[in-house]
């Protein structure tokens, strides 16, 4: 259709020519409007157009449009009819199929073209199938390189319309780059890790932290969807030794691999609370013990003799001697001389008489206990030894 706009005349005839001289009325009836649409023209024709005003007094001289007007088919401006869901980022996972149908309109049929990031599409990666009504962007198996801005353009002569779609191809992230145990105290362990080198082409949404006790080696989740890069793990069990690991997470899920602590954290039995370890002296105390016991002895009346034993113990034991269960006291009886130095205990019996024979006991005692060692002392009469000898010889 051709739209003619004329505002000079109240009434008009519109003529168009085969030759410049052969004018023909375009409107059958006079019109009072300054606007008129000449319908049903043939595409490609060139029209000369003039307007004449008419009143009861007659016709005016014509006003003519200087250049012939070309009749063009302008059915509808080209338009990309982008579906609503493509007006935001279009996210797919690696390996998934992409099949985006974008309707368009325009008359005559627009020419459709595509660009990716301003460059022609790589036909090895992306296929375009365009019909009269839509254009389809098809990618058999998406890869991360397919991410980018795709622009569809529809064009009729000088008219065009464009729409861009942002495609983001994502996958599982890599593991956190590192993890370490930064502190162990009480029943707690402080952990610290770093972001993955590869986020899977989409932001990391959180981390999953696990612990394993060395005894069983089984892993248990302790934190999920945790967004910080450090954590304090509490309520660990005394005496256990732990290892920790952490997975990164994005829209696609948890990283297949994880970062594992190199060291281990042992929850020690003694909760010291940062106080310096008190210095504990080794305990050397022990109950008395005879390292050499008394042996039976015999002597002859008048010949001094010594009973001898050795003892150890800490604190230093007190030594006491007894004869036939009676305590001997060298203050009372100069016959006895008791010496105990360096753990050697001696009881000297000076010039024993026949009644000095009997059962002797040495007792050692300290705060941790007491112990006895005993022996028999025989005091023979002079000559008795010879007499015994004689008996044996007989
Ligand atoms: C338009 O032209 C066609 C033939 O070209 C004719 O059949 C039709 O009646 C015309 N329409 C008008 C409104 O003049
Ligand atoms: C993480 O580290 C910061 C800085 O060292 C510290 O202030 C914060 O308490 C830590 N958070 C946890 C949960 O351990």
CATH of the domain at 53: 2.60.40.10
Q: Give, for ligand 2, the residue of 209, 230, 233, 234 to mutate: max count of ligand atoms closer than 8 Å to Cβ.
A: 230
Out of 23, 52, 70, a domain closes at: 70
CA 191 – ligand 2 centroid, Å: 9
Q: Which residue has the higher pLDDT, 69 or 111?
A: 111
Rounded average pLDDT over 126-150: 96
Q: Which of 87-101, 322-336, 365-379 has the lowest mean pLDDT?
A: 322-336
**Is the CB of 230 inside a 6 Å radius of any atom of ligand 2?**
yes
Query: Which domain does 184 fall in, by range?
Result: 179-266
pLDDT score at 35: 83
Same domain flag for 261 and 207: yes
- Cβ < 6 A, ligand 1 pocket: 39-40
Q: Give the end-to-end CA distance of the chain in Å, rounded to a whole number.
A: 168
Same domain flag for 301 and 261: no
Q: Which residue has the tokens 């001697």?
A: 321
pLDDT score at 11: 36
Structural domain contains residue 281? no
For residues 231 and 222, what is the distance between their CA atoms, to the nearest angstrom?
Answer: 10
Triad 121, 201, 244: Cα angle to 5°: 160
Is residue 337 within 8 Å of residue 350, measured between CB atoms? Answer: yes
Structural domain contains residue 390? no
SS3 assignment, position 309: strand
Among the atoms of ligand 2, which is closest to the Cα of residue 232? 14
Same domain flag for 200 and 256: yes
Structural domain contains residue 198? yes
Q: Which of 255-269, 294-308, 380-394 has the lowest mean pLDDT?
A: 380-394
Domain count, the chain: 4
- 3-state SS, 101-167, equals EEEEEEECCCEEEEEECCECCCCCCCEEEECCCEEEEEECCCCHHHCEEEEEEEEECCEEEEEEEEE
Same domain flag for 188 and 249: yes
Is residue 92 within 8 Å of residue 115, measured between CB atoms? Answer: no
Out of 206, 233, 266, a domain closes at: 266
Structural domain contains residue 139? yes
Rounded average pLDDT over 331-342: 83
For residues 241 and 212, what is the distance between their CA atoms, to the nearest angstrom?
Answer: 8
Same domain flag for 188 and 247: yes
Strand partners, 190: 183, 232
Same domain flag for 292 and 380: yes
User: Which ligand number lies closest to the CA of residue 39?
Assistant: 1
Residue nearest to atom 3 of ligand 2 (CA): 230
For residues 246 and 257, what is the distance between their CA atoms, to the nearest angstrom?
Answer: 9
Task: Report the b/e string of 242-260 with b at 16+ CB within 10 A.
Answer: bbbbbbbbbbbebbeebbe
Q: Which residue has the higher pLDDT, 5 or 309?
A: 309
Strand partners, 180: 192
Residue nearest to atom 6 of ligand 2 (CA): 230
Single pTM value for the model: 0.51
Q: Which residue has the higher pLDDT, 271 or 200?
A: 200
User: Taking all residues of the chain, what is their mean pLDDT, rounded to a whole number?
Assistant: 86
For residues 213 and 192, what is the distance between their CA atoms, to the nearest angstrom?
Answer: 19
CA 39 – ligand 1 centroid, Å: 9
Is residue 135 within 8 Å of residue 110, measured between CB atoms? Answer: no
Task: Measure Cα distances from 4 to 35, 42, 54, 233 in Å.
Answer: 6, 16, 18, 82
């Amino acid at each position: 259709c051709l739209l003619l706009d004329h505002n000079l005349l109240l009434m008009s005839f519109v003529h168009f020519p085969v030759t410049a001289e052969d004018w023909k009325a375009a409107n059958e009836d006079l019109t009072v409007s300054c606007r008129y649409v000449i319908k049903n023209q043939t595409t490609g024709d060139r029209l000369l157009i003039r307007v004449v005003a008419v009143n009861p007094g007659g016709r005016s001289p014509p006003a003519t449009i200087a250049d012939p007007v070309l009749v063009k088919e302008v059915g509808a401006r080209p338009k990309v009819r982008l579906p609503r869901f493509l007006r935001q980022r279009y996210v797919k996972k690696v390996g998934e199929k992409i099949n985006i149908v974008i309707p368009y309109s325009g008359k005559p049929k627009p020419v459709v073209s595509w660009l990716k990031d301003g460059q022609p599409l790589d036909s090895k990666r992306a296929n375009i199938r365009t019909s009269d009504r839509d254009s389809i962007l098809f990618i058999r198996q998406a890869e991360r390189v397919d991410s980018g801005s795709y622009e569809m353009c529809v064009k009729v002569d000088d008219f065009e319309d464009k729409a861009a779609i942002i495609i983001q191809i994502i996958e599982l992230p890599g593991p956190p780059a590192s993890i370490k145990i930064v502190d162990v105290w009480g029943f707690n362990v402080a952990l610290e890790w770093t972001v993955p080198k590869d986020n899977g082409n989409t932001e990391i949404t959180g981390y999953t932290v696990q612990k394993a006790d060395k005894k069983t080696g089984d892993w248990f989740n302790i934190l999920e969807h945790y967004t910080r890069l450090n954590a304090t793990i509490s309520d660990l069990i005394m005496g256990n030794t732990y290892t920790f690991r952490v997975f990164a997470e994005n829209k696609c899920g948890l990283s297949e691999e994880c970062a594992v602590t190199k060291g281990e954290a042992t929850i020690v039995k003694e909760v010291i609370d940062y106080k310096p370890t008190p210095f504990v002296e080794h305990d050397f105390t022990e109950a008395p013990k005879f390292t050499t016991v008394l042996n039976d002895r015999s002597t002859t009346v008048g010949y001094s003799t010594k009973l001898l034993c050795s003892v150890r113990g800490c604190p230093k034991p007190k030594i006491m001697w007894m004869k036939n269960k009676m305590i001997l006291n060298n203050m009372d009886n100069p016959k006895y001389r008791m010496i105990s130095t360096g753990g050697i205990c001696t009881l000297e019996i000076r010039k024993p008489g026949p009644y000095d024979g009997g059962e002797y006991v040495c007792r050692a005692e300290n705060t941790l206990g007491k112990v006895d060692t005993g022996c028999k002392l025989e005091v023979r009469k002079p000559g008795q030894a010879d007499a015994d000898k004689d008996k044996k010889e007989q």
